[in-house]
Structure 1
Amino acid sequence: MGEKGVKFDKWGYQVKTFSDKCISAINDFYDQVLNYGRKRSIILEAPVHDGSCVLANTLAAYFSSSTHPSEALSFIQSAKSHYDESTDYEKAIFDAVSCLISEDRDDDDALQLHFKLLSAFPRDLLSLKRAQILCFYMGQPNPSLDLVQQVLRENEEEAYIHGMLSFPLLELGRMEDAERAARKALEINEHDVWAQHCLCHVLQYECRFPEAVQFMEECSPSWSSCSSFMYTHNWWHVALCYLEGHSPVVKVLDVYDHCIMKELDKDDATRPEVYLNALGLLLRLHIRGEISLFEDRLKNLAELLTDKALWYLEWQLDLLMLWALTSRNKLSDAQELLEGLKLRVSKMNDKKQKLMQRGVSLAEAVYEYGRGNDEHALQLLGLDFNACDYKVIGASDEQLDVFNEVWYSLLLNTGQATKVIEVIERRFESRDGVPFLWRLLEKGYLMMGREEAVRAADKANHLESAYFR
């Protein structure tokens, strides 16, 4: 304990409070966020123990902002009323968070405030995580990397820093560096769930599917305390490795039933987070012509998605719901969801509107794709589409890639074989170990009457028999 009424959080920074329980709840919140725990609501206990603590109220406001905005406003007002008596550290966090959760926030301003905060308080890994999440939803991996590199020297031995380094590296295509960072994180803490996830990303991208599955299944006992998102997302990666590695589809079915949707049996499960991963998997199965075993599951899920409480929480989820609703012929619901997305964008400031126009065009294309209007969907996406340009919907490259697969399918379905061949051959310059892409290339060659179709088929056959025997 320092001067009267001042305690230190786990980073060693001063917090104005008399309450040991308040600072304990704050520290517990740090750990829950950084390891994607399901008890992040622990932060709501901090202002109960000390209603005048600025840090407690600010972090409670941040936690509540996405689901209970009125409560968040109350917390932020309480923090503001005690701002003058708080420490410099608390003031910096209040400034950054209040900008971040304001209704008319400017993302660039919020990001710069986090850069400033971390320059003064580089050991605050929660603020680093918060800033990286902001970068993720801005679709900006470069500043995310800059942020972690800015504070890396002060945190070399910290448990979470290297996993936080790994993710922007892999999003920037620096897979060797990303793998090295993830493995260093796991040397410090083998149960670092985010680092496990990052290493899986690398293994999956490099088409090391059996290695990725074995690694993740060995890690899976450490996921029991994870949030619904992280638990089901890690299993989504496992299912994708089975799918991309041409494992029997029943293995994918088993993961879907027992490791993704089973999460909903838990009393504290978060439905939208589960549905996001379930839908992302179902769409890939649909594209691959493997949806037949899952038809009843998709039908049941589409029924649940008519619940408007699920809408407009995440752009990526909204897009996947549009596909599910249209493909199950729930067109009125899908139309309402799409028009609602457009309306929300129309109310944004000019800068944000321009940025999110990509999200709107992708939503329109997915809507038409789900209805079977391939020509119109392709027209909306264009002939130079690249899903990685759509990071603003809040999705990783791996999550976005399903929309590339939609595009490939649209090209084939509309007779654009030359374009399919061009883009997939270019894709193989960096990633040529996915059997499904070789099958698409084979179709393109066959449509053009080119003898290279035999080579593509042979390559697909070889890969399909090589991964999971």
Structure 2
Amino acid sequence: MHSDRQNNPLTGASSEAAEHFDAALRAFNIYRGDPVAMADSAIAAAPDFAMAHILKAYLFALATEPEAAAEARAIVATTKLLAATDRERSHIAALDCLLAGNWTEAALRLDHHNMAFPHDLLGLQAGHLMDFYRANARNLRDRLARALPKWSEDMPGYAALLGMYAFGLEETGDYARAEAMGREAVARDPLDCWAHHAVAHVLEMQGRTEDGLAWMDTREPHWSGDDNFFKVHNWWHKALYHLDLGQSGEVIALYDARIRGDASPVALDLVDASALLWRMHLEGHDVGPRWDEVAAAWDAHADGKLYPFNDWHAAMAYLGADRSGEVDRIVGAYRSAEPDWTETAGWARETGLPLIEGFRAFWQGRYADSAEHLHAARFIANSYGGSHAQRDIIDWTLTEALLRGGNTGGAEALAGERLALKPHSPVNRRFLNRARAAEPAPTRAA
């Protein structure tokens, strides 16, 4: 029987199919190339190769897009007839939970899977991404901590584990270890975009803006290639550093050329686009018709059902594009969902609603209402979706709502809270200065 590079058996594989599978998994690990096409090549070479089908199912299921989820369900239905080993059946069970909208149950199944099959790199990465999408910082770290002792440094894929572990350490606030681990990962594998982005997160969370720009610039050839699936998110990180420094021209240039230069329809890229435009709006910049393009791209994804984190970012774009009816549609879908439908429906009702209502109130100039929604939501927003850096947009919007609503005492308190975490951040210093001076909201040209 053939095996993968970590010596896991691959039932139904031929030698050629195993090579394609290893290439596809490698592409997935470092977010470069086309792992779907590589998985298809593996399936073409060996149609009954269960793990190739499973890999392809994860690629679609983890995309957080309705059409991709439908494709993943079709793949899983076929693969159930092929799964013959405990490892394969365990993956199918996790995928079933994930595609039913129960992310935590899927992630917990992969907890046990990873303990039983600690060298299954696909299982580790899929579980890590599930932890990320449900904002479980502890398991982002500990899933890898449990597996790493079972690995040796010379095993293929070891660097990818270090990169994932680095991100988990960062999300749990262990910044020194996270940075060291991330730098070691990219030293071992310079093309590992996830490890690079883990270090970018450390520098963002610590307010080390100049260090962040240097990190992005010196390593740009490794993370910015056309075949890099993760390049837009890393450009977004670079834009955040410029935004913190008040360099709006650089931010808009990056947005136009890099973040939306190819008008990517991918939901992950649209999240970055909405989030950056919203931050520019908070800073008082008129971003013009850019909202319209992003809002139109969101139409294929924001169904009010699959993944509320995406819906929230779609709502930002719909507000900017003056398409309030689409915001009503999303909110209506949340409110009409069956009470015990899925975990994602719970996320929508409990966290998605107050976030969308808070952002809508802000856009409409109802700053006191916005602050009321967002102050409560900020404590539950890490129940799903994204990183601390991505969710910072909540506190940023809340602080700006307090300033514009005349609650300078509250704004000063939140500015102090932010400065305690990032004492060198120019954005946070500007918040404090404006609160103390009771300045009006900024208005600037793009």
TM-superposed CA distance for 1:335, in Å, is: 1.7
Does 2:180 correspond to 1:190? no
- Equivalent in the alignment of 1:392: 383
Residue identity over aligned pairs, in percent, reads 21
Q: Is the alpha carbon distance of 1:345 and 1:400 closer, same or farther for their aligned partners in structure 2, counting shifts above 3 Å?
A: farther
TM-aligned CA distance change 1:18 to 1:238, over 3 Å: closer
Matched, 1:252 2:251: yes
> In the alignment, which residue of structure 2 is the partner of 1:364?
357
Q: Could you say if the C-alpha distance between residues 401 and 218 of structure 1 is closer, same or farther in structure 2, counting changes exceeding 3 Å?
A: same
Q: CA-to-partner distance for each residue in 1:241-291, whole Å, 9 max, x for gaps? A: 0110233x2111221111111133xxxx444333221221111111111x2
Q: Which amino acid aligns with 2:356?
A: A
Change (3 A) 1:298 1:352: closer
| CA distances 1:352-375 after superposition (whole Å, capped 9, x unpaired) | 626851122111211222222222
1:109 has 2:105 as partner = yes
Q: Please name the residue that 2:423 is paired with.
A: 432
Aligned to 2:238: 238
* Alpha carbons 2:20, 2:42 under 8 Å: kept: yes
- Contact 1:118 / 1:151 at 8 angstroms: preserved in 2? yes
Give the superposition deviation at 1:138. 2.0
Q: Decide whether aligned partners of structure 1 residues 28 and 306 sit closer, same or farther in structure 2, where only a CA change above 3 A counts.
A: closer
Distance 1:115 1:17 in 2: 26
Q: Which runs of 4+ in 1 moved over 6 A?
A: none
1:93 counterpart = 2:85: no
Q: Residue 117 and residue 369 in structure 1: after superposition, are their counterparts in 2 closer, same or farther (change >3 A)?
A: same
Deviations 1:207-250 (CA, angstroms, capped at 9, x unpaired): 2212211221222222315554x111100100110110233x21
Letter paired with 1:138:
R
Superimposed CA distance per residue, residues 8-27 of structure 1 (whole angstroms, 9 cap, x where no aligned partner): 01110111124223222221
Question: What is the SS of the residue equivalent to 2:10?
Answer: strand
Superposed, 1:337-356 pairs within 5 Å as 337-344=330-337, 346=339, 348-349=341-342, 353=346, 356=349
Q: Does 1:171 align with 2:171?
A: yes
> For structure 1, which segment, 341-350 or 51-60, has the greater mean C-alpha deviation from structure 2 after superposition?
341-350
2:19 equivalent to 1:24: yes
Deviates more, 1:438-447 or 1:57-66: 57-66
* Aligned-partner Cα distance in 2 for 1:186–1:323: 34
Report the equivalent of 1:459: none
Return closer, same or farther for 1:309/1:175 CA change in 2, 3 Å cut-off.
closer
Aligned to 2:260: 261
SS, match of residue 295 in structure 1: coil
Instruction: Find the aligned partners of 1:212 and 1:234 in 2 and give their Cα distance.
Output: 11
Kindly indicate whether the alpha-carbon contact (under 8 Å) linking 2:354 and 2:373 is maintained by their aligned counterparts in 1.
yes
Alpha-carbon distance between aligned partners in 1 of 2:107 and 2:291, rounded to the nearest angstrom: 39
Kindly provide the CA deviation profile for residues 95-115 of structure 1, in whole angstroms up to 9, marking residues without a partner as x: 3333333x2x54343223212
Aligned twin of 2:143? 147
Alpha-carbon distance in 2 for matches of 1:315, 1:49: 38
Deviations 1:125-149 (A, max 9, x none): 2211111111122221112211100
1:307 equivalent in structure 2: 299
1:312-344 deviations in Å (ceiling 9; x for gaps) = 564333222222322332222322233234445
Residue equivalent to 2:34:
39
Change (3 A) 1:364 1:440: same
1:128 to 121, 124, 129: 124
Q: Distance in 2 between matches of 1:322 and 1:352?
A: 17
Distance 2:185 2:343 in 1: 41
CA RMSD in angstroms comes to 2.5
Greater length-normalized contact order (CA 8 Å, ≥ 6 residues apart): 2
Q: Give the secondary-structure state (helix, strand or coil) at the position aligned to 1:262.
A: coil
Instruction: Go from structure 1 to structure 2 and tell me whether the alpha carbon gap of 1:316 and 1:235 turns closer, same or farther (over 3 Å shift).
Output: same
Residue 281 in 1 paired to residue 276 in 2?
yes
Residue matched to 2:402: 411
Is the 1:284–1:402 Cα contact (8 Å) retained in structure 2?
Answer: yes
Bigger drift between 58-67 and 192-201 goes to: 58-67
Q: 1:354 to 1:81 in 2, by over 3 A?
A: closer
1:381 paired residue number: 374
1: CA distance between counterparts of 2:323 and 2:344? 33
Contact 1:52–1:78 (Cα < 8 Å) also in 2: no
| Aligned twin of 2:318 | 325
CA contact (8 A) 1:232 1:263 kept: no
In structure 2, relative to structure 1, the CA distance for the partners of 1:11 and 1:323 (3 Å cut) is same
**Structure with bigger gyration radius:** 1
Check if 1:58 corresponds to 2:32.
no
* Alpha-carbon distance change, 18 to 203 in structure 1, aligned in 2, over 3 angstroms: closer
**In structure 1, what residue type is equivalent to 2:316?**
W
Label 1:71 to 1:427 Cα distance change in 2 as closer, same or farther (>3 A).
closer
Equivalents in 2 of 1:195, 1:397: separation in Å? 16
Partner AA of 1:21 in structure 2 = E
Shift of 1:350: 7.5
* Separation of aligned partners in 2, 1:213 and 1:349: 41
Structure 1 CA distance for aligned equivalents of residues 415 and 327 of structure 2: 31
Q: Contact 2:102–2:344 at 8 Å: present in 1 too?
A: no
Unaligned runs of 5+ in 2: 440-446
Instruction: State the distance in 2 between where 1:204 and 1:306 align.
Output: 27
- State the Cα deviation string for residues 194-218 of structure 1 (Å, max 9, x = none): 1111111111222221221122122
> 1: CA distance between counterparts of 2:340 and 2:90?
30
Instruction: Go from structure 1 to structure 2 and tell me whether the alpha carbon gap of 1:428 and 1:189 turns closer, same or farther (over 3 Å shift).
Output: same
Secondary structure at the residue paired with 1:81? coil
2:204 pairs with 1:204 = yes
Q: Partner amino acid for 1:317?
A: N
8 A contact 1:35–1:226 mirrored in 2: no
What is the TM-score with the length of structure 1 in the denominator?
Answer: 0.84
- Give 1:311 shift: 4.3
Unaligned 5+ segments in structure 1 are 1-5, 449-469
